[in-house]
Amino acid sequence: MSETAAELRAANFIGGEWVPSRDGDVYERHNPWRPSEVIGEFPSSTAEDADAAIEAASRALRGWAGLSGAQRGAYLRKAADVVEARVEEIAQDMTREMGKPLRESRIEATRAAAILRFFSGEGWRPVGELYEQSAAKSLVYTRRRPVGVVGLITPWNFPAAIPTWKMAPALAYGNTVVIKLAQDSPLTGLHLVRALEEAELPDGVLNLVIGSGSKVGNAMVTDPRVRAISFTGSVPVGQGVRERATKLSKRVQLELGGHNPLIVAEDASLDKAVEAAYAGAFWSAGQKCTATRRIFVAEPAYEDFRERFLERIAQGKVGDPSDPETEVGPIVSESQFDDVMSGIARGREERGTIIAGGDRADPDAYLIPPTVFEDVPDDAFLSCEEVFGPVTTLYRFSSLEEAISRANAVPFGLSASVFTSNLAVAQRFVDELQAGILHVNSQTAGADVHVPFGGSKESGYGPHEQGRAAIEFYTEEITVYQDV
Ligand code: NAP
Ligand code: MG
Write the DSSP string, 304-344. HHHHHHHHHHHHS-BS-TTSTT-SB---SSHHHHHHHHHHH
Q: Do 359 and 341 fall into the same domain?
A: yes
Residue 376 has pLDDT above 70, yes or no: yes
155 alpha carbon to ligand 1 midpoint, in Å? 4
Q: Do 188 and 104 fall into the same domain?
A: yes
CATH of the domain at 20: 3.40.605.10
Q: Cα(367)–Cα(330) distance, rounded to whole angstroms?
A: 4
**Beta 371-374 vs 391-397: how paired, if at all?**
parallel
Q: Please, which pLDDT band fits residue 1 given cuts at 50, 70 and 90?
A: very low
**453 assigned to some structural domain:** no
**454 assigned to some structural domain:** no
pLDDT in tens, 190-249: 999 999 999 999 999 999 999 999 999 999 999 999 999 999 999 999 999 999 999 999
Q: Do 213 and 287 fall into the same domain?
A: no
Q: Cα(89)–Cα(217) distance, rounded to whole angstroms?
A: 28
Q: Taking the model in full, what pTM does it have? A: 0.97
Q: Do 248 and 273 fall into the same domain?
A: no
Please, what is the angle between helix 69-85 and helix 87-98, to 10°? 70
pLDDT value at residue 9: 81
Q: What b/e string do you get for 129-147 counting C-beta neighbours within 10 Å, with b at 16 or more?
A: eeeeeeeeeeeeeeebebb
**441 assigned to some structural domain:** yes
Q: Please, which pLDDT band fits residue 6 given cuts at 50, 70 and 90?
A: very low
**363 assigned to some structural domain:** yes
Query: What residues flank ligand 1, with Cβ below 6 Å?
Result: 153-158, 180, 182-183, 212-214, 217-218, 221, 232-234, 237, 240-241, 255-258, 289, 386, 388, 414, 455, 459
**End-to-end CA gap in the chain:** 64
CATH of the domain at 443: 3.40.309.10
What is the residue with the minimal CA distance to atom 11 of ligand 1? 213
Question: Is 132 a known active-site residue?
Answer: no
Q: Cα(91)–Cα(113) distance, rounded to whole angstroms?
A: 12
Q: Cα(425)–Cα(265) distance, rounded to whole angstroms?
A: 8
Q: How many CB atoms lie within 10 A of CB 53?
A: 33
Q: In the predicted model, what is the mean pLDDT of residues 132-136?
A: 93
Q: What is the CA radius of gyration of the chain?
A: 23
Q: Do 444 and 466 fall into the same domain?
A: no
Please, what is the angle between helix 87-98 and helix 102-121, to 10°? 130
Q: How many CB atoms lie within 10 A of CB 98?
A: 32
Q: Cα(109)–Cα(164) distance, rounded to whole angstroms?
A: 10
Q: Do 236 and 303 fall into the same domain?
A: no
- How confident is the prediction for the chain on average, in pLDDT? 97
Structurally, the chain folds into a number of domains equal to 2
Based on the number of CB atoms within 10 Å of its own CB, is 240 exposed (0-12), middle (13-18) or buried (19 or more)?
middle
pLDDT value at residue 7: 61
pLDDT value at residue 441: 98
Q: Cα(170)–Cα(157) distance, rounded to whole angstroms?
A: 21
**224 assigned to some structural domain:** yes
236 alpha carbon to ligand 2 midpoint, in Å? 10
Q: Do 34 and 48 fall into the same domain?
A: yes
Q: In the predicted model, what is the mean pLDDT of residues 347-367?
A: 97
Question: Is 476 a known active-site residue?
Answer: no
Q: Please, which pLDDT band fits residue 5 given cuts at 50, 70 and 90?
A: very low
Q: Do 385 and 474 fall into the same domain?
A: no
Residue 136 has pLDDT above 90, yes or no: no
CB 56 within 8 A of CB 64: no
Atom number, ligand 1, closest to the C-alpha of residue 258: 34
Q: Do 342 and 392 fall into the same domain?
A: yes
Atom number, ligand 1, closest to the C-alpha of residue 220: 20
Q: Cα(88)–Cα(80) distance, rounded to whole angstroms?
A: 14
Q: In the predicted model, what is the mean pLDDT of residues 47-74?
A: 98
Give the single-character DSSP code of 468: G
Amino acid at 349: E
Atom number, ligand 1, closest to the C-alpha of residue 155: 26
Residue 14 has pLDDT above 90, yes or no: yes
Range of the domain at 354: 260-448
Q: Do 266 and 211 fall into the same domain?
A: no
Q: In the predicted model, what is the mean pLDDT of residues 291-310?
A: 98
Q: Cα(414)–Cα(437) distance, rounded to whole angstroms?
A: 6
Q: Do 248 and 355 fall into the same domain?
A: no
**387 assigned to some structural domain:** yes
Q: Do 11 and 138 fall into the same domain?
A: yes
Q: In the predicted model, what is the mean pLDDT of residues 475-484?
A: 96
